[in-house]
Every structure is written in C-alpha cells, then in structure tokens.
Structure 1
C-alpha cells in the first residue's frame, strides 16, 4: 500500500474519482493543476477545510505555517470540502473568503470530496494505507518527502501545535 500512495503522490492527482485514477491531479481553485510530482522531495501538509466551520480560525495558523516554512520546502495544501455541509457554494466564494479574512496565498484546490467511495483518490489512498479518513473539517495529513504518510491529526489539533511543528521540522532540509 505504501507504494500505491507513493505512486499516487508522484503521478499527481485529480478531483476525478474514477477507479484507478493514478495519473490524475488536483485542480486548483485558480483554474490551474497541482501535480504532486512538482513537490517531490518536500513535505506536504494537506488539510481539508471549510469556510463556515467553527475551526475556520485555523486558516490563520495554516498561513503562518506556510509563511514560516515555505522557504525551507514545506507545502501547505488546503482542500476545501463540503462533505460536512460547511463550505461555501462556489470556488469563487471560497477564494474570496480566504483572501479577505485570512490573506491566504497557499495552494488551494477546488471544492473536493474527501470521504467515502466518492473521495478524491488521494484520500482513498490515505484511508487504504493508514485507516485515516477525515472525520470533520480541518483534519490534517503530513506527507513526507518520500511520499509516505508521516502523521495524521484531527480537527482539534491546531496547525501550529508543538507536535505538528516538531514533525514538520524533522522533514525539512
């Protein structure tokens, strides 16, 4: 299973949910494509987000994390999701909300399914490998430079929590 996740990360992923979507990619909120291959060799902190969630204040911590460590190689990837019915209706609304309220400039995808059989292939691979599936908004997955899941955290763990920072710093150049 570790090889499957690594293959998914290296090949890039998409918001498409068809079976075996190994060569797919994440579609960005700006209309571009994020191929995780571009981030090979770097840690990637993936967080499913929702603008109307009580944990939305964590956007501030995510941006601080990104600002602090991006020059050392960390990628923070926000994955807006409406799986828990707390996301705004359109990508344009999500982008505006995040920019106006939190000054976000980190990579962000289009609104993406993260749970169940319709989940994005990335989340299915994480679930299959580790048993971790987001149970709410602002769940976190830390992927190491080798493409393996290093750690997962739930919504109550803040992005700047000491345990998160320690794991990220272990992976940086």
Structure 2
C-alpha cells in the first residue's frame, strides 16, 4: 500500500515535467551558460510565460552605454514580469576576450542586474539556438545591441536596431504589449 501511495506523487511530478516541456516554445528550448558563474540557464524553466527583451551585446561597442538604459527598462518593468536577457557576442569583433572582462563591463561599469550569458554566436549557421529562432521569426542581428521584444508565448512581437535606445517610445510600447500578452 505504501508503494502505491508514493507512486502517485512521483507519477504526477513526471507528468508535470512532460507537460512543462511540451508547453515550452521553440525559442526557449535549450540552455545557455550564465556569465562568470559556473551554471547554465535552462531557458524554458527560467523564462517560459514571461515577456522578454533579448539583446545581443558587445563590451567595446559604441552602443555599450545602452546597458544603462536596458537596466533602467528592466528595473521599471521587472515587477510586472519582464525579463531582459543580454547575450554578449564577438560576431562583430567588439566583445572582450574573456568572460571576466565582459562581466566587469556589464556588472561594474554599468551596474547590470538582468540576466547575462557567456559570449555566444548570434549570426549564421553557428548561432546559438535562441538566435536561430529569433532570426527565423524576424531577422538576425545586423549589429550589436539589436533588440527583440518577445511575448509570453515565445513569439517576437517587435525587433529594433542598435540605433533604438531602450527608452524609445516604440520599444516601450512593444514591451507593454508583451507584458499585456497572456501565456
């Protein structure tokens, strides 16, 4: 009798994990290593059903001061569920040579508290899965600090060039639209 009693919760947990995996949008399949921490981010577990701003970054790009604006955007809307994900990349030859340098720029120089990953490929056939899906829904980043606003279902609702600052009215409108979306 005790075995049967224990089997029910275990079976329910297993079914729940399968249901969660089935509910994960293609955009959030997989993992990415977190910047300067020996852990990976399970994208589905961490970001499923959350509105997102995903941006490819570069420490030595002229647009790097946008880190401050991205942090302000995150602080303004995180209480409503917004997540900002920064993905450093050297695809445009402007990223630091080490994760330590990247972390210093993000965390020390700009006070970033939103999620940052280790540097990744964001363009072409070697791009990480996340950016392959972003590109398939819209377009690949044309330069550093290309921004994607993603709704709670994992669909890109808007993308913005490097020239668009994080406090731009159109970007804010897209973020608020993503926040209003239902899972």
Could you say which TM-score interval applies, normalised by the shorter chain? 0.7 to 0.9
1:97 shift after superposition: 1.6
Task: Quote the Cα distance in structure 1 between the aligned partners of 2:166 and 2:159.
Answer: 12
Q: Are 1:117 and 2:125 an aligned pair?
A: yes
Say if 2:168 is the partner of 1:161: yes
Look up the match of 2:87: 79
Deviation at 1:165, TM superposition (A): 0.7
Equivalent pair of 2:33/2:40 in contact (CA under 8 Å) = yes
* TM-score, normalization by structure 1: 0.85
Give how far 1:146 is off. 0.7
Deviation at 1:6, TM superposition (A): 2.3
2:142 alignment partner, one of 135, 138, 142: 135
2:3 corresponding residue in structure 1? none
The count of aligned residue pairs is 155
User: 5+ unaligned residues in a row in structure 2: which ranges?
Assistant: 1-23
> How well do the aligned residues superpose, as a CA RMSD in angstroms?
1.4
1:19-168 equivalent positions in 2, closer than 5 A? 24-29=30-35, 30-37=37-44, 38-130=46-138, 132-168=139-175
| Higher normalized helix content (fraction of residues) | 2
> Larger radius of gyration, structure 1 or 2?
2
With structure 2 as the length reference, what TM-score do the two structures score? 0.80
State the alpha-carbon separation in 2 of the partners of residues 8 and 48 from structure 1: 15
Q: Structure 1 residue 160: deviation in Å?
A: 1.1
Of 163-172 and 151-160, the range deviating more from structure 2:
163-172
Q: Partner of 2:54: helix, strand, or coil?
A: strand
Structure 1: give runs of 5+ residues left out of the alignment.
Answer: 12-23
